[in-house]
Amino acid sequence: MQTPPQFTDTFVTIERFILEQERNIPDATGVLSDILYDMALAAKLIASHTTRAGLADILGSTGVENVQGEIVQRLDDFAERTIYRLNDHTRRLAVMASEEMEDIIPIPERFGGGKDGKYVLIYDPLDGSSNIDCNVSVGTIFAIYRRKSPIGDCGTLEDCLQPGRNLAAAGYIIYGSSTMMVYSAGQGVNGFTLDPHVGEFLLSHPNIQVPAKSKYYSVNQGYERQWSPGVQRYTRWLQGENETGKGLSMRYIGSLVADFHRNLLDGGVYYYPADIKNPAKPQGKLRLLCEANPLAFLVEQAGGYASDGRRPILDIQPTSLHQRVPLYIGSRDLVEKAEEFIREMDSVPA
Ligand code: AHM
Ligand code: MG
C-alpha cells in the first residue's frame, strides 16, 4: 500500500522565514533581511531567463532586439546586471564585488556612495555558465559581510577582503530542474524551492545537515596527473584503498553549485586541488571570496567542513579580490582525511 502524501498545515515563504529568524536577533535592524529579500528577487529574475536560455539564438543574440523589443544579453551579463541594479540604490551596502568585475563595485554617488550602507555584498552572478549551452544546472553564489570602514566613508577594498569567519550571511541559488535558494544567516542552513506558478520561494529543506554517511566524491579527475602525491593518494583512498576496502561513487557535474548542493544533501566531498604543474594557477581554479568562502560558511553551518588542504577556508585572510584557493568541501571526516594525506605526503609550498 502506498504511503499517503504528508501535507504541512502552513506554507512558509522565504519572506516569513527571514522575518522570523530576524526576530531571534534582539538588535537586528532588518537591513540584512532586506538584502536577503533582494537576493531572492534577483533569483526569480535570473531564473526566468535561465529557463529560456536555449531561445537566445531564436530571439536574437547579444546586442540584438528580441521580439519584446528588449536587448538580448548573455545570461552571465544579465545575472551580473540584475544583482547590481537591485542593490546599487538601496543604501544598505557600502560596496560590492563580483567575479565578473576586476575591481570593487562602488555604490553610485547619487545613491549615497555607500557612505550609509552597513553591509558588503560579494557575488558570483552565474557560476558554471559555460554549462548553460548544454542545459546543465548553474548557480549564483553570494556572501554578505558587515562593513569594516566607518559609516560616513565610501566602501573600500578592505571591506571586501575579510576572512569568511566574519560572514554575516551567505547562500546560493541553483537553477536546475527547479530553482532553489539555500542560505544561512548564522542560524543553520535552510533551502527554499521556487513555485514558478505563484513566484514564491517556499521552505522545502528546513535545517539542512550534512548526512553522517557519505555517498559521493566529486572532482575533475581528468587533471589527476597535475595533483600532488597527497591528493592522488587521497583520491585512491576515496575509491576504496582504505581500511574498509569500500569506495564512494564519483559524481562530477562541473558546476560548483550543483555539485555542492548534491553533496550537501546526500553526503560527500567536492574538491578542486592545487595544480602543481601549472605555475599560472598553482592555487587551483576557484575564487576564495565569491565561491569558496560563502560555501564554506554554509557547509560549516550544516555540520560539515571546508579546507584549502591545510587550514580552514574561513580562517584565510584574503589578500586580493580574485584570489584563488584549493578547495576541499563537504562532510567533515572526508575533508579532514584530505588534510591528513596532504600533511603527511606533500611539502609545504614555498
Ligand atoms: P566559473 O566561475 O568560470 O564558472 O568556473 C567555476 C566552475 C565551477 O562551477 C566548477 O566546479 C569548475 O569551474 C569546473 O572546472 P573544470 O572544468 O576545470 O572541472
Ligand atoms: Mg564562478
Cβ 112 vs Cβ 155: under 8 Å:
no
pLDDT tops 80 at residue 65: no
pTM for the full predicted model: 0.93
Question: Where in the chain are the domains?
Answer: 14-205, 216-345
Q: What is the mean pLDDT of the chain?
A: 91
For the chain, the distance separating the N- and C-terminal CA atoms, rounded to the nearest angstrom, is 64
* C-alpha to C-alpha distance for 231 and 271, rounded to whole angstroms: 10
9: amino acid identity, one letter: D
CATH number of the structural domain 14-205: 3.30.540.10
Chain segment 157-206, per-residue pLDDT in tens: 999 999 999 999 999 999 999 999 999 999 999 999 999 999 999 999 99
Q: Residue 124 CA: which ligand 1 atom is closest? A: 2
- CA torsion through residues 327, 329, 253, 205, sign: negative
Taking CA atoms only, the protein residue closest to ligand 1 atom 4 is: 128
Number of residues that make up the chain: 350
Q: Residue 126 CA: which ligand 1 atom is closest? A: 4
| Yes or no: domain 216-345 corresponds to CATH 3.30.420.40 | no
Q: Does the fold of domain 216-345 match that of domain 14-205?
A: no
Pocket of ligand 1 (CB under 6 A): 99, 124, 127-129, 220, 254-256, 259, 285
106: amino acid identity, one letter: P
Mean pLDDT of 231-259: 97
Is residue 73 very low, low, confident or very high in pLDDT (cuts 50, 70, 90)?
low
